[in-house]
Structures are given as structure tokens and as C-alpha cells.
Structure 1
Amino acid sequence: MNASNVARFGGLTLTAALLASVATPSLAGSFYLQEQSARGAGRAYSGEAADTGVSSMWWNPASIARSGREVYVGMHGLLLDSDVDNAGSTITYPGGTTVPVQGQAHNGDPIESGIVPNFAISTPIGDRFAVGLAVEAPYNFTTKYQPGSFARYDALTSELRSANVSVVGAMKVTDWLDLGVGVDAQYVKAKLTSALPNLSPLLADGNSSLEGDGWDYGWNVGAQAHTGRWNFGLSYRSKIEHELDGDVAITGLLGPIAAGNYTGSGTASFNTPWFASASVRYAVNDKLTLNAQVNRIGWSEFDAIRVRYATTGGDTYIQDYKDVTTGAVGFDYVANDRVTFRGGIGYDPTPTRDDERTARIPDADRWLFSGGVSVKATDSMTVDTGLTYIAFSDSDIASSHTSYAGTAAATTSTLRGTAEGYGIGASVGVRWAF
């Protein structure tokens, strides 16, 4: 294998690693985690862009314009039950010999449960201005398959950790209109291990691993209108163009492809989606408020992962995500001056396409059914809780990948499988006014 082909091989490995890192199903579409507010979790995030307060700052920077001094700390536990099963996966070796992929056909709970933290603080400056700071984890999950899994050429371990730091400014323009703007610094760290096929089913697999990270930047804007019983919100969060620096290790390749064993570095770039939200809250009376929110998510920005290798060459891994529209409705009911109950239903369609879904992204359409309660423990402290059941639709896995592409050793794995599961999210947060 010449230097150019080694470069291409390493580039494909880095690409696959980045794909794995952003491919864990969550309680929102694909690799996005919307668990940024315990109060919002209780109503399926149905009124966030129109609500006020520091815990709505992720959805609308204008939310802090008239909320006073406030601190929010939240924690969200995500329990996922998932199954991924083989449905006729094959591998085609050089010369055209096609055989079934051997190994573990049933994979129970490859998607690990986890915890998502968040923090936010805001303070007014004078009578009309406010500033805020928030730290969120919008992408944060781990997926693991056993070494003998049928999906091993697609994924073994896939880890993603992220931190988003937002600095926000807001202004009360009039008695009824608020505007806000923010900048985001987003850190992403990814890790992958996977198997690589040697040129005969009688030979042990090779292995690849990658770790990469990097900081990149985006922005967000929003507006809110408060007109008596009605509250309206509009917001937009930009895409972020990520470029991760990574270290690649490829081992265990034998015979003619042994020259592909490599340890080195590379970079990979991909985009996270933009978000546009429209929300309304209507106070039916002093106790009951109805909420609705629609989000248009620009997943088509995640069209490909583009790789540059440290020596020569590179590659592009097509993703072809589609833009989606999500929505939720819910309510807040003030039982008394200390207790508020919430509920909501949300729908999140998957941005993945049926004929391009891999074991790394066993994503599916989902319904969210939520309930929650807020208790004002003291005059300055409120405890928010939320519980969400997520019903995932069953989905098919169908994709193909060629290892050592462009060489005489090209080996194509054709993945066919099914995925099903459900999730439960438990959220708790504390808000302090000071």
C-alpha cells in the first residue's frame, strides 16, 4: 500500500471516528441533547423560547432581559434501553467473495445511559440591560458494542463529550419587547475504537482508534414580546463549524495491507446544525398557562465529514442529513403560591434517512411524554423536577462502507440490521433569585 493509499486509509479511519462521536441517539433528534432546563423538561420543552428566566437562556437570549438576578443549576439523568440486531450483514473481500458477517447478532444496550449537567447565571445592569453566562452539554453520550459484534466494522466504542459556554446580553427595548444576543464557545472531544477487516475471514481483525478535540464558535439571537396574557418568542442559534485535531492508531493489519498500520495525526471538519424556534405562551387565567413551540433544525448542515490527513490525501464521508421540524405542546398549572405542575407532549423526527442509517446512528422518530413539578422551597429558591418517557419508533439499519478504498485490497462491509428501544429522562434543577 503506497503512501497515498495509507493516507486515504488513515483519513477514512479518522472520518469514521468523528461519525461515531456524533452518532448517539438522545432524547432529541440524532446527536443533539435538548436537556438544558429541568423546568422545561416538565412540559416537553414546549414554551422555552417565550418564557423568561435564566433556565430558558439556551433557547432564547432575550429570556433574561427582565428576570432579575438568578442562578440555575440542573442535572438530567438519561436511561436508555436499546437493542441492535443483525438482519443479514455481509462482507465482500477482494475478488468478489461475499460472506455473512460472523459474530454477535444481538446487541443489548449498546447506547449507554448518562448524566447531562448545566449551569446558568444572569444579572441586570441598570434598568434595561442584563448579562448572562451559561455552560451546557448539548452533545454528550457513549455507544459501545462488544468486540465480536456484527457491527464491529462500523463501530465498537464511540464517545462524545461537549461543553458549550454562552455569554449573553439582553435589553428591554420597550415595556413589551425584549431583545437578546449571545456568543458561543463550544468544545468537543471524541474517541472511537473499531475493528478493521483483514483480507480473509480466517484472519483476526485489525483495530483502529482515534481521539480528537477542539474549540469552535457560534452565535445566537432572540426576541420576546409580552402582551398581557400572551407571550411570544423567536430565536435563532447558528451552526458551528467544527474542526477537530486527532491522533490515529491503526494496528493488526496483516499481509498485503500491513503497510496500513499507522500512528499519526489528522483533522476532520463537520458542522453542527442551526436552530430556529418559535414559541407562544397563553395565560388562560391566573393558574393555567398553555405553551406551544415549533423548532426548525438545519440538520442538512451535517452533510459530510471532511478529513485532512497529516501527510497526504484526505476523504469525504457523506452524511446527507435532512432538515426537520419538531414541535411540542404543554401547560403550567399553579396549584398554590408554592407548587406548580407541568405536562407536555413533543415530537422529534429523525434527520437520518432510511437508506443511509448506520449502527453508529440507530436513530428514529420519537415521541416525548413529560410531567413535572416546581416547588418554591424558600422565597428565593425554587426546585424544578421533570420526568420524560421517550417512545422510539423501530428503525432499520442499512449502509455500506469500503475499507482500503481505491486499492486492490478494497473490502466492502454491508450493514443490515434493526434497532429499537425507549428512554427515560429524569431532571432536577434549582433556581435561586438573589
Structure 2
Amino acid sequence: MNNKFNRLTVAAAVAATSFTGQVHAGGYQINEQSVSGQGYGHAGRSSNVNDATIVFGNPAGMSFLERAQVSVGGTYLNVNSDLNNVEAQQTLDAGVAGGGAPVGTQVPIGEIPGGNDGDMVPGALIPYAFYAHPVNDRLAFGFGVYAPFGSQTDYEDDFQGRYFGDFTEVRVMSAQPTVSYRFNDQWSVGAGITYNRVEGELRRQLPSGTVYDPAGDIDSRVDGDDDGWGYNLGVIYKPIPETTLGLTYRSKVDFTLTGDFRAYDPAGNVVRADNANLDLTTPETVNFSVTQEMTERLKLMFGASWARWSQFDQILVENNQGDTITQETQNYSNSWAFAVGGEYQLTPAWALRAGLSIDNTPTSDEYRSVRIPSDDRRIFSLGAGWSPTDNMTLDFAYSYLTERGTHVEQERADLLASAATNGVPVGGATYSADYKNEAHGFGAQLTYRF
């Protein structure tokens, strides 16, 4: 019996690309576009106008800024993962295992060799830069560069779940020109156009025989890129000077990913190459928040975000001729996130912040993957802003993210094929484990006003 790199193998590799790209947008959607906002858990993302990062938070807010300013910063994320109760089994068709013809039912035949060290997410710095320029009392322009989505998982070489995915890297960068207009002291609107560039690389291993030896595995890789356009809209309403309501809409972005598939043997030789196309749409989102000035020094904030993930119900991958390679049900659900936070002006130079966020995952237990073993999240944040002069503010923030423990359970039946059965899959693998993830975020930001 030997492993045949037929269309079925190509389909599995390319399907992994589509699944991972979309899940990163949901389970690991990046919120780090403002360190000043990070300090209060982004509770006032659409309503609290602090600095130029409002270009992302709510484009309508730029017209409430008094001076032109630039905000540059970033957050360093350190993620830790623990894996427990791991089970990884080789499977083989029951008929073939008994020395006969395939019967279509696979049975476990032994443990897959390898390890489960965890901590597969490298540390990453997420940078951003925003500029806002009030033209007059009513009109303002702005521009921003930031990362809305992105993640990386890199398991050890002999990871027991390597046949389902052992390396994932997805990067999305966005550039956003923005305009804002204030009708009066109560109402303001804004709009921005976003240019989005996505790049990704995904890997998973394929056994070269029935031994499932990691040293003899075939390394299958998919990489691709694309760009797409989107937009966002915002409105701010101040019924009284102490109360600010903000609403922001971000559109979906349509991508057509063009990917290249390559499979390498242990000596580095290419043993299979192909291509595939995938139409991918990230969901539209809505954010609402309210900022209430309780006293001259104290502000309290509340925010809620909604993402329309229910439109992502399947993966459809086709080759250049339009033939279907794979079609898989995903059945995502719409997701909500909530946040509360506050800011206290301790002195004219120092502002202190704190916040709590609850972020619900759109994924389901049935389709959760080793690539993104994510679940519902709770995020606790602290922050401070220091303004040594009227022209400059330095912001700092720390966030602790903890996820609900989650279970991953996957199986494949298409890893081995027999030449005697014309390539009919007769061998596969199963993997299950309990994951517990946590992360620490350290942010710093400089705002300079002209």
C-alpha cells in the first residue's frame, strides 16, 4: 500500500486554506487598532473620541477632534496553549486490515507517533498608524493602516495532529482613507473605503506509508494571496453634551484566493503540484457603543459588536476549469461581543483606564479544527495615558485573555489509498484533545497633535 497524491489529496490541502482563512477572521479577529481603546477593553470603540485611532473606531468621530494628529502604536501578543487528554489513532479499512477487499469502514490500528507540546502560537507585534486632519469645524479627513485579521500557529514537527494541520499563517493589512462631516454639536457622519490585502501559507503532513513515521511524511503546502475592497460607515449622536452614542458599520470584503499546492517528500523533491481557486467573503460587522461622562473626571463606556457569520455555511473549492474539488458544510453562526470600561482623569497629565470584554466564538464544536482551537473569550484590560505636553500623549495598556476550555475532535479517511482498489481511500487518522488558551497583550502608542 502506498500513498497516492491524487485529486482527493489536493482537495484536502486546498480546503484547509479556505477553512483557516475564514476562521482566523472570526475566532482570531484582531482588535488591536488602538492602545488607548485597549485600556478600557474597546468598550467605547464607536463613541469615545480620544485620538486619531477613531479613524478605525468610528469615522464620524474625526470631526470632533480639535487639531490634526497622528497616532502610531502596536500591541505585542503572547499566547499560551495547553493540550490535555490527547488521542491520535491511525485507521485502516476493516476489510484491508483483515487481508481482504475494502468494506468502507475504518478501524483504529495503533497510535500515531509524535508529541503535543502546545504553545504553538508565536509571539507577534500588531502595528498600526492613523492620521486625522480637521479641515474646519465641520469637515475632517483621515487615513489609517492597520491589521484587521491575522494569526499564526506553528506546531512541533512531530505533532500528533499534523495530518490535520501543523502550520498556519494568515496576514491581512488594510489601508483606509476616510472623511467625516459634523452637521452640528449633536450629529456627525463619516465614511471610509478600505483596500485589503491578504496573504497566507498553510501546511499539513501526509503519511508516506502505513507506519505514519513523522520522518517520512510528505509535507503539503498551500500559499496564496489576493486583495479586495470594502467600506465602513459611522454616525455619532450626542443628545446632551455628557452623552455620546456611536454606531459603526463595516462591510463584507470579497476575496478570490488563487492558491498553489505543492507536496514535498523528505528529500525536498516536489511530488505533486496543482492549483485551486476559492471565493471567500468576510462578514459585515456592526459596533454600537455609548460613552457617558459621569463627572468632569470620570467616563463610563459600554459597547456591543455583531458579526454576520451565518452567511458562511460552506466551503467550495474549484480548479481553474471550474470543476468542484471539495464542498464542505461549515454552519457558522452569528456572533456577539460585549464590553464595559471606564476612564478616570487622575491629574491633568494622567488618565487611568480599565475594561472587561466578552467575545463569543462563531465556530461550533462539530467543525472546530487543530488550526484554530478557539472558543469563547474573556478579556481583562488595564491602561494609562500620559500627556507631558498638550501636543503629545503616550498610552500604555495590558490585557489578559482567557478562553473557555474547548475540545477538538477530527477524523480523516483519505490519507492512504491502495493501488489495488484504484485509489479508493482505505486509511486515515483521528485526533482529539482538550485545549486551554490564554494570551497577554502589551500595548504602547504615541499620539502627536499639530
TM over 0.5: yes
Q: Is the alpha carbon distance of 1:218 and 1:403 closer, same or farther for their aligned partners in structure 2, counting shifts above 3 Å? A: farther
Confirm or deny that 1:238 pairs with 2:237: no
Distance 2:39 2:30 in 1: 15
1:74 aligned partner = 73
User: Greater shift after overlay, 289-298 or 266-275?
Assistant: 266-275
Asked if structure 1 preserves the Cα contact closer than 8 Å seen for 2:413 and 2:429, the reply is yes
Distance 2:301 2:248 in 1: 16
SS in 2 for 1:58: helix
Choose from 173, 182, 187 the match for 1:163.
173
Confirm or deny that 1:336 pairs with 2:347: yes
Choose from 55, 63, 76 the match for 1:57.
55
Residue type at the aligned position of 2:294? V
Distance 1:202 1:218 in 2: 45
Cα displacement (A) at 1:411: 3.8
Cα displacement (A) at 1:301: 3.4
Distance 1:167 1:137 in 2: 15
Cα displacement (A) at 1:80: 0.8
1:262 aligned partner = 272
Cα displacement (A) at 1:22: 5.2
- Once the two structures are superposed, what CA deviation does each residue of 1:56-106 show, in whole Å capped at 9, x if it has no partner? 222211121221311110110001111234532333334434234412342
Cα displacement (A) at 1:231: 0.4
SS in 2 for 1:332: strand
Asked if structure 1 preserves the Cα contact closer than 8 Å seen for 2:90 and 2:112, the reply is no
Cα displacement (A) at 1:245: 1.6
* CA RMSD, 1 decimal: 2.3
Cα displacement (A) at 1:189: 0.4
Residue type at the aligned position of 1:113? G
Residues 253-332 of structure 1 mapped to structure 2, 5 A cutoff:
261-310=271-320, 312-332=323-343
Q: Is the alpha carbon distance of 1:48 and 1:73 closer, same or farther for their aligned partners in structure 2, counting shifts above 3 Å? A: same
Asked if structure 1 preserves the Cα contact closer than 8 Å seen for 2:63 and 2:137, the reply is no
Q: Is the alpha carbon distance of 1:306 and 1:410 closer, same or farther for their aligned partners in structure 2, counting shifts above 3 Å? A: farther
Residue type at the aligned position of 2:388? A
1:257 aligned partner = none
Asked if structure 2 preserves the Cα contact closer than 8 Å seen for 1:24 and 1:143, the reply is no
The unaligned stretches of length 5 or more in structure 2 are: 94-101
User: Greater shift after overlay, 48-57 or 199-208?
Assistant: 199-208
Q: Normalising by structure 1, what TM-score?
A: 0.91
1:197 aligned partner = 207
Confirm or deny that 1:19 pairs with 2:10: no
Asked if structure 1 preserves the Cα contact closer than 8 Å seen for 2:413 and 2:425, the reply is no
Aligned residue pairs: how many? Answer: 421
Distance 2:388 2:327 in 1: 54
- Once the two structures are superposed, what CA deviation does each residue of 1:281-303 show, in whole Å capped at 9, x if it has no partner? 10011000000001112222343
Distance 2:431 2:57 in 1: 37
Q: Is the alpha carbon distance of 1:305 and 1:154 closer, same or farther for their aligned partners in structure 2, counting shifts above 3 Å? A: same
Cα displacement (A) at 1:170: 0.9
User: Greater shift after overlay, 181-190 or 407-416?
Assistant: 407-416
Q: Normalising by structure 2, what TM-score?
A: 0.88
Residue type at the aligned position of 1:422? E
Residues 398-417 of structure 1 mapped to structure 2, 5 A cutoff:
398-403=409-414, 407-409=423-425, 411-417=427-433
Distance 2:130 2:365 in 1: 38
1:183 aligned partner = 193
SS in 1 for 2:301: strand
SS in 2 for 1:126: coil
Q: Is the alpha carbon distance of 1:413 and 1:102 closer, same or farther for their aligned partners in structure 2, counting shifts above 3 Å? A: closer
Choose from 125, 138, 144 the match for 2:148.
138
Residues 36-55 of structure 1 mapped to structure 2, 5 A cutoff:
36-52=33-49, 53-55=51-53
Confirm or deny that 1:154 pairs with 2:164: yes
Distance 1:313 1:261 in 2: 22
Cα displacement (A) at 1:392: 1.5
Cα displacement (A) at 1:221: 0.7
Distance 1:47 1:315 in 2: 42
2:362 aligned partner = 351
Asked if structure 1 preserves the Cα contact closer than 8 Å seen for 2:55 and 2:132, the reply is no
Q: Is the alpha carbon distance of 1:24 and 1:80 closer, same or farther for their aligned partners in structure 2, counting shifts above 3 Å? A: farther
SS in 2 for 1:127: coil
Distance 2:273 2:42 in 1: 45
SS in 2 for 1:147: coil
2:395 aligned partner = 384
Asked if structure 1 preserves the Cα contact closer than 8 Å seen for 2:403 and 2:436, the reply is yes
Distance 1:353 1:335 in 2: 44
- Once the two structures are superposed, what CA deviation does each residue of 1:224-282 show, in whole Å capped at 9, x if it has no partner? 012211000011111212222221102349xxxxxx94223322222222211110010
Cα displacement (A) at 1:395: 0.6
User: Greater shift after overlay, 190-199 or 163-172?
Assistant: 190-199
SS in 2 for 1:320: coil
Asked if structure 2 preserves the Cα contact closer than 8 Å seen for 1:75 and 1:117, the reply is yes
Asked if structure 1 preserves the Cα contact closer than 8 Å seen for 2:276 and 2:320, the reply is yes
Residue type at the aligned position of 2:76? G
SS in 2 for 1:377: strand
Cα displacement (A) at 1:219: 1.2
Q: Which is higher, the Rg of structure 1 or of structure 2?
A: 2
Distance 1:276 1:20 in 2: 23
1:420 aligned partner = 436
The unaligned stretches of length 5 or more in structure 1 are: 254-259
Asked if structure 2 preserves the Cα contact closer than 8 Å seen for 1:112 and 1:141, the reply is no
- Once the two structures are superposed, what CA deviation does each residue of 1:326-373 show, in whole Å capped at 9, x if it has no partner? 101010100111111000111112211122211111101111111100
2:83 aligned partner = 84
Asked if structure 1 preserves the Cα contact closer than 8 Å seen for 2:285 and 2:305, the reply is yes
Asked if structure 1 preserves the Cα contact closer than 8 Å seen for 2:17 and 2:202, the reply is yes
Distance 2:276 2:408 in 1: 29
2:97 aligned partner = none
User: Greater shift after overlay, 341-350 or 97-106?
Assistant: 97-106
Distance 2:287 2:385 in 1: 24
Distance 1:12 1:222 in 2: 41
Residue type at the aligned position of 1:33? I
